[in-house]
Amino acid sequence: MNVQDPASIKATAKQLIEEYPDVNVLINNAGIIQSDDAAGVIDEDFLISTVTTNLLGPIRLTSAFIEHLKAKEEAVVINTTSILGFVPLATTAVYSATKAALHTYTLSQRYMLKDTSVKVIEIVPPWVQSNNDEPRAMPLASFIDATIKILGTDTDEVLVEEAKMFRNNPGPNENVFVTQLNDTMNSEPPKIH
């Protein structure tokens, strides 16, 4: 399935529902993160690709499955956002913006589905070593273990310990925290021996 193609999403959803009529969980986890320059010219192809994958993809996927899910006795939609939706990384401004938008969409979706059988959960990862060995990032295995434990509770928002300070940040002085994060990220990584 191509999450950037609405026709592909509809066709895949239709096929999956026909082949697996008991399906009752949708996990929206696709994402593109690339550096961009919010103080400069943004490449149009990069912009469209990122917004389409990170924001429109989950909205379209959920839309394609939602009536099927609402017909189930119990169902779950899980949207993966990011701490960068709460504290943006300036060098990935478009990614950060899409994750902030998906967070607010998730809140609205949860509200609109509150009287249905569909539970809406948001997973808010910190920086994770998913395709890197950056020492400042959380090891992938640790993130998965902590996330699975939290998913086993009745929470609507999955926050591992490493994500909480970012999630709890928004407020009148959030710019101070954003500046500190970005200054730290632009510094030299620690040396590992």
The backbone region for 67, taken as left when phi is positive above 0, alpha when psi lies in -120 to 50, beta otherwise, is: alpha
CA distance 114 to 93: 32
Report the range of poorest mean pLDDT among 20-24, 66-70, 130-134. 130-134
Residues 85-98: what's their mean pLDDT? 94
Give CA–CA dist 135/192, Å, rounded.
8
Residue 134 lies in a domain: yes
State the Cα–Cα distance between residues 40 and 91, nearest whole angstrom.
11
Using DSSP's 3-state secondary structure scheme, residue 51 falls into helix
User: Which helix (H) or strand (E) segment is 80 a member of?
Assistant: strand 75-80
Q: Is residue 191 part of a domain?
A: no
Per-residue tokens: 117: 């059988």
Is 193 a domain residue?
Answer: no
Cα(106)–Cα(188) distance, integer angstroms: 35
Q: Which of 6-10, 131-135, 180-184 has the lowest mean pLDDT?
A: 180-184
Whether residue 69 lies inside any domain: the answer is yes
Flag whether pLDDT at 123 surpasses 70: yes
3-state SS, residue 153: coil
Residue among 20, 95, 105, 111 flagged as catalytic? 95
Of the chain, the percentage scoring pLDDT greater than 90 comes to 74
* Segments forming the whole domain that contains residue 142: 6-185
Q: What is the CA radius of gyration of the chain?
A: 18
User: Is residue 1 in some structural domain?
Assistant: no
Nearest to 83 by CA among 180, 147, 160: 160
Evaluate whether residue 192 is within a structural domain: no
Q: Residue 193's pLDDT band (boundaries 50, 70, 90)? A: very low
pLDDT at 170: 63
Give the list of residues 6+ apart from residue 164 with CB closer than 8 angstroms, or none. none
pLDDT bracket for residue 192 (50, 70, 90): very low
Angle between helical axes of 93-112 and 44-51 (0-180°, round to 10): 30
Hey, is 120 helix, strand or coil?
A: strand
The verdict on residue 155 lying in a domain is yes
95 is catalytic: yes
Compute, in degrees rounded to 10, the torsion defined by CA atoms 137, 142, 148, 151: -50
State how many domains the chain has. Answer: 1
Residue count of the chain: 193
CATH code at position 177: 3.40.50.720
Q: What is the mean pLDDT of residues 56-71?
A: 97
On whether residue 62 sits in a domain, the answer given is yes
62-66, 96-100, 147-151, 188-192: lowest mean pLDDT where? 188-192
